[in-house]
Amino acid sequence: MPNGFSPFPPAPAAREAAIGIIDLMGEEYDVLVAGAGPAGSVAAMLLAGHGFRVLVLERDRFPRDKICGDGIAPRAVHSLHVLGLEEELEGRFLRTRGIRFYATRDGVTEVRYPMGSRYPDHGYVAPRRELDDILLRRAKERGAEVLEGCRVTGLLEPSGGRIPGVRAEREGERLELKGRFILGADGPSSVVGREAGLLRRDPLYIGVSVRCYMRGVRDLADFLEIYPEDAISPGCGWIFPVSGDTANVGVGFMLYAREAKGLNLNRLWEAFLRDTRHAAKKLASAEPLGRPRGALLRVGLGGAVPRRANVLLAGDAASMTNPISGEGITYALESGRWAAETLAAALRREDPDILALYPRILHWYYGRYYHYGTLAIRYGNRPAFVNPLLAVTSRFPRLGDKMGRFLMNCRRSDHPL
């Protein structure tokens, strides 16, 4: 009998759910997916669409909030379009035309999508409570099984060179679930990644941010607004329009900066609201809707190793967030797609060694950009560089486009995935 399972019949109210769980515990799934953020839901949607048995284990119950800026970049719009999901966004969420960067000393740089690239000419601001719900619903419709309110707590003991499944907890019950492959898509503090020994603690690759929805924000338009202002450097702030005069407002920095400069998230948040030249004016009469909430980001590929034996990581668990822009939804969607296709090939050919391709794909496809991006943010994110750069790009739109393409990893030569 598995640990923690009672030999006594469950109470009538819990009976139905418990019967379902006991049934699940006898099965071996093709893939167990930990986490139903964009990476996990997209991987589950594609694997189930290929006809494989997939079980998603999600700690929360949906719809749930996720601390995020909610900015959907053109590159993410492209993935959502390929997955047949863009029609669910159109008309429901605020559509953005570009980004405005506010330097402390000089003018505003306005960059309009697609910035000379082949990606779409628009983005969205989509509160994650709704976006993630849409993605998970689509995964269910495609045939993925989902256990909400189920927290993965660890991995089963390795046997024969592979990890046979995960340990989890749901409504006080301890479960052991079996899968031929395991996908850790459980975010930056991934339990799957930690237990498989795949996470690294290097502060160069870990960011921390805080965000709050605010009402009464002045002069919102259909542009994302980024504030690399002196008062919060080397942190950076944002104001993303949600609807009417409501915006997603936030600020964040990389952990190595905290260690070097003693930064503190609360003080940075206060400084963003009070001491910035541009943002403080916009937010002067805004009121918070709830308290500011913080979360980690794992960026630049260097914060994790994406595979061990039959375990893969995707999204923030695999340190996939863009180290320059802090955009992670794009790369959660893309790594979810890469992971699903690699797992599908391994399942079809019954060859687990195919999984060795996955880290190679990620490093080949993103490694160079993430390497230079990590260096750029480490050494270039300071007022002495940012102010003159934005002074130039505000006067020369083509240079602004070039900067936008670099920040958002949308090269002119890219053929979108």
Interface residues toward ligand FAD, by CB under 6 A: 34-40, 57-60, 66-71, 151-152, 185-187, 191, 209, 211, 250, 252, 295, 297, 315-317, 321, 326-330, 332
Kindly state the smallest distance separating residue 353's Cβ from ligand FAD, in Å: 25
Distance of closest approach, residue 392 Cβ to ligand FAD, in angstroms: 26
Nearer to ligand FAD, 179 or 387 (CB): 179
* 3-state DSSP assignment of residue 49: helix
Picking from 214, 220, 245, 248, the residue whose alpha carbon sits closest to that of residue 70 is: 248
Output the smallest distance, CB 369 to ligand FAD, in A.
15
Q: Rounded to a whole number, what is the distance in angstroms from the first to the last CA of the chain?
A: 46
Distance in angstroms (rounded) separating the CA atoms of residues 96 and 80: 15
Tell which residue, 408, 411, 409, has the closest CA to residue 96: 408
CB 10, min distance to ligand FAD, A? 22
Query: In which element (H, E) is residue 239 found?
Result: strand 236-243
Task: Closer to ligand FAD by CB, 35 or 49: give it.
Answer: 35
Residue 20: half-sphere exposure toward Cβ, Cα within 13 Å:
11
Q: Cβ-count burial of 336 within 10 angstroms (0-12 exposed, 13-18 middle, 19+ buried)?
A: buried
CB of 136 to ligand FAD, least distance (A): 9
User: In angstroms, what is the minimal distance from the CB of 189 to ligand FAD?
Assistant: 7
Our CB check for ligand FAD shows the closer of 195 and 387 to be 195
SS3 238: strand
**For the chain, what percentages of helix, strand and coil (3-state, to nearest 5) are there?**
40, 25, 35
Nearer to ligand FAD, 63 or 397 (CB): 63
Name the residue nearer to ligand FAD (CB basis): 164 or 323.
Answer: 323
Q: By C-beta, is 85 or 185 nearer to ligand FAD?
A: 185
- Residue 385, number of CB atoms within 10 A of its CB: 13
CA distance readout (Å), 9 to 3, 120, 169, 175, 349: 16, 55, 18, 16, 42
Are 82 and 417 contacting, i.e. CB atoms less than 8 angstroms apart?
Answer: yes
Least Å distance, CB 110 to ligand FAD, is: 18
Q: By Cβ distance, which residue is nearest to ligand FAD?
A: 328
Q: Cβ of residue 12: shortest distance to ligand FAD, in angstroms? A: 27
Rounded Cα gap, residues 335 and 320, in angstroms: 8
Query: CB of 43 within 8 A of CB of 34?
Result: no
DSSP 274-304: HT-SSHHHHHTT-EEEEEEEEEEEEBTTTTB
Least separation, in Å, of the C-beta of 76 and ligand FAD? 6
Q: Are 96 and 224 in contact (CB under 8 A)?
A: yes
> Tokens for 37?
């953020």
